[in-house]
Chain A
Amino acid sequence: MNNVTKEEVFQAISTVIDPEVGFNLVEMGLIYDAVIDDENNVHVTMTLSTRACPLHQMMIQWVEEAVMKHTNAASCKAEVVWEPEWSFDMADQHVKDKLNQFANRSI
């Protein structure tokens, strides 16, 4: 079995879209790290844009399922951490540009 790479894990998680903002979790900067052991067990460290996110449990579930579906991982465990706290600065530049360009768009 091929070893799973961190890039593959991030690529897999980038299929998970936040339905409120419309961006994937990776470009939002919500995925902090992914550690893969010799048996291809994946441990993802992630956060959420707010501590009171009602999708908290589902986001974890989606991340784990995306990794299992799109990579050869033997298992995947996603852990939500609150340190460091997520901020808008962690998002990709195109996300920032897109959110800012809405400023003058009328409803």
Chain B
Amino acid sequence: MNITRDFAPPFRLIAPFFLIGVLCYGLSMLLLFSFESTATFSQLTTVGWMHLFLLGFVMMTIFGAMAQLVPVVIEVGHAAVDFFYIIWPLLTLGTLIMVTGFFTLPVLLPYGGLLVLLSMVVFAADLFATLRRGERRSVVISSIKASNIFLLVGILSGFIMALSFGGVLEIDPQPWLQAHVYAVFGGYVLLTIMGLSMILLPMFGLSHGFNDQPILWAYRLMVGGVSIIIVGSLLSLLLLSYAGIVAVFASVVSYGYQIYLIERKRARKENDIWAKSLAIAFMSLALSLLLFSIYLLGGGERFLMSGGWFVTVGFVGFLITSHLYKIIPFLVWFERYAPLVGKQDVPMLHEMVPLREATMQMYCTAIGTGSVGIALLVHSNTLFYGGVSVLVVGGSFLLYAVYTMMHYGKEVL
């Protein structure tokens, strides 16, 4: 059978993104042993860890997912799908050099930053060229466009800081730091998650007929909020920055309400590993909002650290791992079994997930995430290292599960 692939890039193109993504996840969990429960965001090692997790795991897997999802959302093939073959090597190398720079050799930061910047420019070039080919308009497509503009703003501001840390440029990094954090995390990561949630959650949960106004508000508030924060930071207008932060909070609340509406209309009631992981992700998001609120009301940096932990590892981490159990089986199935449909029995997608290991991953990661989050709050090293140990075990199960899914049915070919 001649398989039509306009909407589905080949597995060998996307697989490295997921494989390197989970390897970076495992490495970032291991690196936590080099921290203490009193860690702060002002430590370069903390910043280095965040870059390993966000660039190596989060961005890497988001890029892999976007390679698959952008064509089906826009309903046209990629403008330059082969670009993805150079994105992951650039991003991997850039991330590793940057992390090394943050941990030991700051002089390396501009070089790592340049490679990361290049990878994102290549990604954005394909994305915007693909968007130009499509005719559909929706809040999802708008969020993809806006998020990638923020990505470029965020990476450029990050690169300017990398030049500063590397001793190439003399600037006050503080305003650029705030612009960088909000542009990348709020403008790119959260906005992308909002857009993808509107595709993936109704698709896997078979939710239909829900009100989608909250996501429209979430999108507007996030775009407006992050823009205001960037301007406020760079012009040192504190009040403007606070107004932007309030808008970002309101956006996340509106997004949470949208998720609640989608969940209420979920026809597929099965509480599988995807649904349970998502539940943990959204509980973490709610908890992080509470912790960030306490921090903004003067609660101290431990609330910022704990909130940051729950939103990155708890929310974003679980949101991604939950979808790995859906997306990887699909990609493998599409590659190995789609040509056999109608000729022989083919497996269902859920049969390709190693259930026992995936379940262990979910429980270990949930216990570890909770323990470390509390440890950062109460400054307990015992709890911190206990939590990290469980997270490393969870990371090992994730690696095993991803490896198993990727090799499922390899003998078929």
A residues with CB within 8 A of B: 15-17, 19-22, 49-50, 52-58, 61-62, 65-66, 69, 85-88, 96, 99-100, 102-107
How far in angstroms is the closest Cβ of chain B from A52? 5
How far in angstroms is the closest Cβ of chain A from B161? 36
Query: CB-CB contacts of B263-286 with A at 8 A, as 1s and 0s?
Result: 000011111110010000000000
A20 and B8 contact, CB distance less than 8 A: no
* Top-10 shortest CB links A-B: A102-B270, A103-B269, A88-B267, A57-B4, A50-B203, A87-B208, A52-B199, A52-B72, A54-B72, A22-B348
How far in angstroms is the closest Cβ of chain A from B8? 6
B269 and A54 contact, CB distance less than 8 A: no
Q: How distant is the Cα of A85 from the Cα of B349 in the complex, in angstroms?
A: 25
Query: CB-CB contacts of B54-72 with A at 8 A, as 1s and 0s?
Result: 0000000000000011001
What are 13 inter-chain pairs, A to B, with CB distance below 8 A?
Answer: A19-B348, A54-B7, A54-B68, A55-B334, A58-B3, A58-B338, A62-B341, A85-B208, A99-B206, A100-B269, A102-B268, A102-B272, A103-B269
Q: How distant is the Cα of A45 from the Cα of B147 in the complex, in angstroms?
A: 36
B204 within 8 A of A: yes
How far in angstroms is the closest Cβ of chain B from A22? 5
Specify which chain B residues have a CB less than 8 angstroms from the CB of A15 in the assembled complex.
Answer: 342
Query: CB-CB contacts of B339-370 with A at 8 A, as 1s and 0s?
Result: 00110001111100001000100000000000
Of A16, A62, A88, A105, chain B has the most CB atoms within 10 Å of the CB of A88
B73 within 8 A of A: yes
A-B contact count (CB 8 A): 91
Specify which chain A residues have a CB less than 8 angstroms from the CB of B355 in the assembled complex.
Answer: 107
How far in angstroms is the closest Cβ of chain B from A90? 10
B residues with CB within 8 A of A: 1, 3-4, 6-8, 68-69, 72-73, 199, 202-204, 206, 208-209, 267-273, 276, 330, 333-334, 337-338, 341-342, 346-350, 355, 359
Q: Which residue of A lies closest to B273 (CB)?
A: A107
Q: How distant is the Cα of A21 from the Cα of B348 in the complex, in angstroms?
A: 8
Q: How distant is the Cα of A54 from the Cα of B69 in the complex, in angstroms?
A: 7
A54 CB contact (under 8 Å) in B8, B202, B267: B8
A107 and B203 contact, CB distance less than 8 A: no
A19 and B346 contact, CB distance less than 8 A: yes
Q: How distant is the Cα of A22 from the Cα of B337 in the complex, in angstroms?
A: 14
Specify which chain B residues have a CB less than 8 angstroms from the CB of A107 in the assembled complex.
Answer: 271-273, 276, 355, 359
Specify which chain A residues have a CB less than 8 angstroms from the CB of B270 in the assembled complex.
Answer: 99, 102-103, 105
How far in angstroms is the closest Cβ of chain B from A77? 15
Specify which chain B residues have a CB less than 8 angstroms from the CB of A57 in the assembled complex.
Answer: 4, 6-8
B4 CB contact (under 8 Å) in A58, A86, A104: A58
A21 and B268 contact, CB distance less than 8 A: yes
How far in angstroms is the closest Cβ of chain B from A12? 11
Q: Which residue of A lies closest to B277 (CB)?
A: A107
Provided the pairs A15-B342, A107-B355, A107-B359 are in contact, do residues A87 and B209 lie with their beta carbons within 8 angstroms?
Answer: yes
B271 and A19 contact, CB distance less than 8 A: no
How far in angstroms is the closest Cβ of chain B from A17? 8
Specify which chain B residues have a CB less than 8 angstroms from the CB of A104 in the assembled complex.
Answer: 271
Of B209, B333, B338, B341, chain A has the most CB atoms within 10 Å of the CB of B341
Q: How distant is the Cα of A57 from the Cα of B2 in the complex, in angstroms?
A: 11
Q: How distant is the Cα of A99 from the Cα of B275 in the complex, in angstroms?
A: 14
B342 CB contact (under 8 Å) in A20, A49, A66, A103: A66
Specify which chain A residues have a CB less than 8 angstroms from the CB of B4 in the assembled complex.
Answer: 57-58, 61
How far in angstroms is the closest Cβ of chain B from A107? 5
Given contacts A58-B338, A99-B268, 6 further A-B contacts (CB under 8 A): A22-B348, A50-B203, A52-B69, A53-B72, A58-B4, A88-B206
Specify which chain A residues have a CB less than 8 angstroms from the CB of B346 in the assembled complex.
Answer: 19
How far in angstroms is the closest Cβ of chain B from A91? 8
A88 and B276 contact, CB distance less than 8 A: no
How far in angstroms is the closest Cβ of chain B from A43? 19
How far in angstroms is the closest Cβ of chain B from A28? 9
Q: How distant is the Cα of A54 from the Cα of B333 in the complex, in angstroms?
A: 12
Q: Which residue of B lies closest to A103 (CB)?
A: B269
How far in angstroms is the closest Cβ of chain A from B225? 27
Specify which chain A residues have a CB less than 8 angstroms from the CB of B341 in the assembled complex.
Answer: 16, 58, 62
Q: How distant is the Cα of A17 from the Cα of B340 in the complex, in angstroms?
A: 12
Specify which chain A residues have a CB less than 8 angstroms from the CB of B69 in the assembled complex.
Answer: 52, 54
Specify which chain B residues have a CB less than 8 angstroms from the CB of A58 in the assembled complex.
Answer: 3-4, 334, 338, 341
Q: How distant is the Cα of A53 from the Cα of B270 in the complex, in angstroms?
A: 20
B269 CB contact (under 8 Å) in A52, A65, A85, A99: A99
